[in-house]
Amino acid sequence: MAVGSSNSFDLIVLGGGTGGYSAAFRAGQLGLKVALVDDRPKLGGTCLHIGCIPTKAMLESAELYERIQHGAADMGVNVQGVTYDYAVAAKRRNQVVDRLAKGLDSLVKKNKVEHIHGRGTLQGGKKVRVETVNEDGKKDGERVLDANDVILASGSRVKSLPGFEPDGKNIITSDEATIGNTLPASIVVVGGGAVGVEFASFYHDAGVEVTLLEYLPRLTPLEDADVSKELERSFKRRGMKVMTSARFDSAAVSVDEQGVCLMVGPEGEEPKELRAEQMLVATGRAPNSENVGLEATRAKLEKGFVTVDARMRTAEPHLYACGDVIGGLLLAHVAAHEGIAAVHAIAGAEAEKVDYLKMPRATYARPQIASIGRSEEECARDGFTVRTGKFPFQASGKALIRGEHEGFVKVIADARTDELLGVHMIGANVTDLISEASAAMLLEATAWEVGSAVHPHPTLSEALGEAALAVDGKSINF
């Protein structure tokens, strides 16, 4: 245990996002004296304040509006003159964020963690210099902290296209989109990954004219190809403009009184003028690895991301790192798992190495996407011979009852051992269904075992059981 002054700790966690606070709370539960250093006004990081939580609140309100407009009448619910008041939806979004932030404050106390409000800089592997700030965000002093171990969880930031910088008004990023309270009449979303398709889905459901551009040949290029195809079909059916293999010169994008103008076209075709009131750039994230003092350590970087081993250790003894700053999947729940793994390594608690193939991924567009393990392409790349089973939601009683029957569940298994290699879902609420596949992969279940587990009827979860049975051609309902 740490001894000495109030500036001495067993563990210092630098960064108060999901990875950082999860690590700090687990360390407190294990009896360590912990300092959690963060310079934001409130804990929670990008995910809580300008990422996961506000985005999902926005998607939820817009989806409800869309369902009332286009699905309520089919269920006998006749609504006249329905409108979408985004200012009210944005207020509710902010209330959700504030409530969760207050919850984090109470958990800091519950787990006996000292929250130090300020900007921390590494001074080697076991010491952190903190420029403390008051409640108004103004500097009010300095503390030099020392510890047996340090975890760097400094997160990431939005990354723009080369040639121009977002102005926060006509050209925005997710940062501005998640705190604003007005909507444009039209928008171009650049980037067809998870963030881009979520915002494209939100804006379209909210009544905005949307054009979605993706540089690669398909949307959500990190997902299974069948999922990407289904998502693009769904977006186009809803009236969204989607262009893959899109090419334009970012340096030539112009802004005038009418909004944003660019010349864009599919690869190999003549570009055409595209205008919209706003452009949202959703082209990835960059690690916050600068200005945190890494140059004073032996930690190594690769393309700006901190290099760690499977237990989150850097090349600097006693310095660990987790979350977006180390790269990989850049998902909040993954950051939390990494932070906890680092603490277990520090405390000598029993912990498995972090296995990213067992990390579920979730995208909250409409329809939602959820996956875990390898795609079919990745199985072929890694030398697996596979069998697959697929079950469409149009054959699901619960999906038909809900009036949302787009999509499918796809299960991939090793042809020799029946080991579960991947599960890929697209459809309503699949982000809630993927947890069963996560547990199954953790327990090294086979496809037959997943299919043999009893799934209550009628539920959406039946789709996973049926897809698993379909691996052997034994699906009952399709």
Active site positions, annotated: 457
* Pick from 219, 220, 277, 276: nearest CA to 243: 219
Residue owning tokens 């171990």:
149
In a 10 Å sphere around its CB, with 0-12 CB exposed, 13-18 middle and 19+ buried, how is residue 60 labelled? middle
The region that residue 318 occupies, defined by phi over 0 for left and psi between -120 and 50 for alpha, beta otherwise, is: left
Q: SS3 for 376-409, per residue? A: HHHHHHCCCCEEEEEEEHHHCHHHHHHCCCCCEE
* Pick from 15, 11, 75, 23: nearest CA to 351: 23
Enter the tokens of residue 203.
């804006």
Residues whose CB is less than 8 angstroms from the CB of residue 76 and which lie 6 or more positions away in sequence, other chains included: none
Instruction: Supply the DSSP string of 154-219, one letter for each residue.
Output: --EEE---TT----SSSEE-HHHHTT-----SEEEEE--SHHHHHHHHHHHHTT-EEEEE-SSSSS
Q: In what order do the strands lie in the sheet with 386-392?
A: 361-363, 368-373, 420-427, 408-414, 386-392
Residues whose CB is less than 8 angstroms from the CB of residue 208 and which lie 6 or more positions away in sequence, other chains included: 183, 184, 185, 186, 187
Task: Kindly compute the dihedral angle of the four CA atoms of residues 222, 225, 227, 230, in this order, to the nearest 10 degrees.
Answer: 130
Enter the tokens of residue 19.
């990875």
* Pick from 24, 323, 356, 327: nearest CA to 155: 323
Residues whose CB is less than 8 angstroms from the CB of residue 224 and which lie 6 or more positions away in sequence, other chains included: 371, 375, 376, 377, 410, 422, 424
CA terminus-to-terminus distance, the chain: 60
Helix, strand or coil, per DSSP, at residue 143: strand
Q: What single-letter DSSP state applies at residue 71? A: T
The residues pairing with 368 across neighbouring beta strands, listed in sequence order, are 427
Contact 278, 260 (CB under 8 A): yes
* Interatomic CA distance for residues 379 and 437, integer angstroms: 17
